[in-house]
Amino acid sequence: MPQRISNVIGRLAALAFAAFLCGNALAAEPLIVHLDEAEIVRLPDRVATVVVGNPLIADVSAQAGGVLVVTGKSYGRTNLLVLDRSGAALLEQTVQVEGPRGPILHVHRGVTRETYSCTPECERRITLGDAPDFFGATLDQSGARANQAAGGTAR
């Protein structure tokens, strides 16, 4: 009799371990969002609250028709929680923000970096991780241009 109990316990443990492995294999893959790009997530019904774990990594904007736009703000991983009115989780999703895609050129000068978007000609691109002087000058030019386009005055 003790041998049967031991066999049953062993089989139950093996089944529990197999279920654990299958559960992990079926876990949702992270939502991959590229830096400075947006992805669309379809929301389930009855959504009351949307929470982003770290809004410095990803930002969200709820749109009509059950659409959520997730924008990559900085490199890293965070999570997205969608809750109903009672606080029950309708969706739990890991959001992983990766570097920009496309024809990007990184120029390294010692420990400093400059980034260029080559679509088709290489032009300066404002990218996290670039040297402060390069980043600031590019951002200033971009801001001045946007200000001019909006009818503002030059700085």
Per-residue pLDDT of the chain (155 residues; tens, 9 = 90+): 555 555 545 454 444 444 444 444 334 799 999 999 999 999 999 999 999 999 999 999 999 999 999 999 999 999 999 999 999 999 999 999 999 888 999 999 999 999 999 998 999 999 999 999 999 999 999 999 999 999 866 55
pLDDT score recorded for residue 28: 75
User: What is the radius of gyration, based on Cα positions, of the chain?
Assistant: 24
pLDDT of residue 155: 52
So what's the pLDDT on residue 113? 96
CATH annotation of 31-98: 2.60.40.1380
Cβ contacts of residue 47 below 8 Å, gap of 6+?
Answer: 62, 66, 82, 83, 84, 90
pLDDT score for 68: 96
In the chain, list all ranges with CATH 2.60.40.1380: 31-98
Q: What is the pLDDT of residue 79?
A: 97
Tell me the whole-structure pTM to 2 decimals. 0.71
CB 115 within 8 Å of CB 36 = no
CB 48 within 8 A of CB 84: yes
User: How far is it, in rounded angstroms, from Cα 148 to Cα 145?
Assistant: 5
